[in-house]
Chains A and B, each alone.
Chain A
Amino acid sequence: MKYFCSRQEQVATELRQGRLPDLWDDALRTHVAGCQFCSDLVLVAQALQQDRMQTVQTAQVVSAGALWWRAQVRLRNGAMERVTRPIALAEKFALIISAAAVLAVIMWKHSQLLGWLLSLADPPHPTALPAGSSLIDGWTTLLMAAGLGTVALCAALAMYLMREEE
């Protein structure tokens, strides 16, 4: 299907330059009167151009200063987020590692922990415990110390950061 007239570009150029059809040469006006493509083009373009002119005159837009200021704030917030992102990532990483460590310890020492929990409910007489079944052996002590140390370190760091922020 044909959807282009050979003189359409000429008509479009005249319209783009804002020249009214009354000012066009006779040949072009005669052509437009008889050409469906070009008459559609003139009708639509003129309606839209007129509408644009009126809309542009009545438009109420936010000031450039306000937009500039908001852009500065957004940029600043973006930069802050970029800077703090590694810290947030490190926090998440630490949380995951801690959870994994706790799980590993539970799985590794589950029988002893279970016994310990049971003993809490029903504490045996101290003399009933065999000498080699010390609940808190060397490894457990080490892990607990490391865990407590980590918690203390994190707490100190958090307090330091909070004080800095204030």
Chain B
Amino acid sequence: MAWDYAIPQTGAAGKAASAGVLMDDEAFNGFHQRTARPLWSYLARVSGSGSMADDLLQESYLRFLCAGNLREDEESRRRYLFRIASNLLRDHWRRPVVAALDELPESLFAAPEGRDSERIDSQAILGPALAQMKPRERQLLWLAYAEGSTHREIAEITGLGAASIRLLLFRARRKMARLLRQQTLAKGRNK
């Protein structure tokens, strides 16, 4: 049945408008180029699975494009995209076991060795250290230090209270530093 007449702005002519959207395909192409790899890295490191990162990355962009209230500036869009991805991660974790993110066993989220971790010293140390962190800790650390997000931005992306970020980050950082030092020492002994 031809419903096109009843569906505004979904034809080829309404491409930009149909995406939600204050963004046409060219603008999206540029945005994707700047954000896709960092987002994949975030998803892969926090989820501990490259294939899950692939799936969630696609779903994040689809939801981003289908959302009708995209922000004007690039930074806001980026934060919005990361927020969608974070929500998808949380939903994925919640699906098999009905529990809060922090209550789930860490073994479920064991971060695998990075794709090149065997080849790269820093990753050989970082991989096992990340595997011993809780998903929430990995998320906070990655956003703060890999992505360089501020506490306010982290709060916006994760949905946590801005006031609690500092303390949570401090604890996660201290734990991670301890694990990294242990890994470095163990690696030194094995040599």
Question: A59 and B33: CB pair below 8 A?
Answer: no
Q: Is B58 an interface residue (CB 8 A)?
A: yes
Question: A161 and B1: CB pair below 8 A?
Answer: yes
- Chain A, residues 59-94, CB within 8 Å of chain B (1/0): the string is 101101101101110111011100110000000000
Question: B61 and A79: CB pair below 8 A?
Answer: no
Q: Shortest Cβ distance from A130 into chain B, in angstroms?
A: 55
Chain A stretch 102-129: residues in CB contact (< 8 A) with chain B: none
Given contacts A56-B37, A56-B38, A67-B32, contact A51 B146 (CB under 8 A): yes
Q: Is A19 an interface residue (CB 8 A)?
A: no
Q: Shortest Cβ distance from B138 into chain A, in angstroms?
A: 10
Q: Shortest Cβ distance from B10 into chain A, in angstroms?
A: 5
Residues of chain B within 8 A of A41, CB atoms compared = 173
Question: B58 and A43: CB pair below 8 A?
Answer: no
Question: B1 and A47: CB pair below 8 A?
Answer: no
Q: Is A55 an interface residue (CB 8 A)?
A: yes
Given contacts A68-B19, A75-B18, contact A55 B114 (CB under 8 A): yes
Q: Chain B: which residue is nearest A162 at the CB level?
A: B1
Q: Shortest Cβ distance from B62 into chain A, in angstroms?
A: 5
Question: B173 and A51: CB pair below 8 A?
Answer: no
Q: Shortest Cβ distance from B167 into chain A, in angstroms?
A: 6
| Alpha-carbon separation in the docked complex, A58 to B132 (Å) | 23
Q: Is A16 an interface residue (CB 8 A)?
A: yes
Chain B stretch 31-70: residues in CB contact (< 8 A) with chain A: 32-33, 36-38, 40-41, 44-45, 54, 57-58, 61-62, 65-66
Q: Chain A: which residue is nearest B57 at the CB level?
A: A61
Chain B interfacial residues counted at CB < 8 A = 55
Q: Shortest Cβ distance from B164 into chain A, in angstroms?
A: 12
Given contacts A48-B141, A56-B37, contact A40 B66 (CB under 8 A): no
Q: Is A139 an interface residue (CB 8 A)?
A: no
Q: Chain A: which residue is nearest B18 at the CB level?
A: A75
| Alpha-carbon separation in the docked complex, A59 to B38 (Å) | 9
Which of B37, B57, B114, B171 lies in contact with A51, CB distance below 8 A? B114
Q: Is B123 an interface residue (CB 8 A)?
A: yes
Question: A83 and B28: CB pair below 8 A?
Answer: no
Residues of chain A within 8 A of B29, CB atoms compared = 64-65, 68
Stretch at the interface among B83-91, B92-100, B101-109, B174-182: B174-182
Question: B19 and A3: CB pair below 8 A?
Answer: no
Q: Is B120 an interface residue (CB 8 A)?
A: yes
Q: A47-B122, A52-B38 are in contact. List 13 more A-B contacts (CB 8 A).
A: A40-B174, A44-B176, A49-B146, A50-B122, A52-B147, A57-B37, A62-B58, A67-B32, A70-B58, A74-B66, A78-B66, A83-B3, A161-B1
